[in-house]
Amino acid sequence: MPEFAQEAGTGQVALVPAAAHETAAAVHRLLRGAGATVATAESLTGGLIGAVLTGIAGASATYRGGAIAYATDLKSGVLGVPRELLERQGAVDPDVARSMAAGVRDRLASDFGLAVTGVAGPEPQGGRPVGLVYIAVAGPGGAQEVREFVFPGDRYQVRSSTVVQALGMLADSVKAYAGK
């Protein structure tokens, strides 16, 4: 079990591991250094990535906003994921994640789009196992990356792991962009 941050004076456990907050701060530094922005499209994390990113002071300089497209029809209606793709592949698919990232990047006019879709559990969804997650980053110049993960644990652990890995992928993408 990872270490978790506690809210000062409340004793309440945060919703994501402390490492997520550290990575979010690094992401903001990288984005500022690159003169770039990010927008998020979240399904299984339900806004946790956006919450972690906006928990950092000065986030408004680099975070454009996000869309929580938990329902499948919102992935199409809000993010522009082709309906045919969703009908053929279902919501938990690498091409859906890629399309979500590109859609949020375009619709929120950001340099980077970060998207997550997967099965947090406790039950499998559409033949997909609990813990299966696709994370995608769409960057400037059409650069795209999508990765598949299978995270162990319960719903909380799957969602927390998704946040940490998504922020890490975003950091790597911004580093690669800034290095050009």
Which tokens sit at 149?
């993960």
- Domains belonging to the chain, first-starting first, are 4-178 (3.90.950.20)
Rounded Cα–Cα distance for residues 4 and 50 (Å):
18
Helix or strand run (H / E) with residue 41:
strand 38-42
Beta bridge pairs of residue 96: none
Residues present in the chain in total:
180
CA gap 137, 139 in Å, rounded: 6
Tell me the three state secondary structure of residue 63: strand
**Residues of the chain scoring pLDDT < 70:** 1-14, 180
Can you give the pLDDT at residue 15? 76
pLDDT for position 180 = 61
Max intra-chain CA distance, the chain: 50
pLDDT of 35 reads 98
Give bridge partners of residue 137 from the DSSP assignment: 114, 145
What's the confidence (pLDDT) of residue 14?
A: 58
Tokens of 13: 């456990």
What is the structure's pLDDT at 11?
47
Q: What is the pTM of this model?
A: 0.92
- The end-to-end CA distance of the chain, in Å, is 37
Provide the pLDDT for residue 16: 86
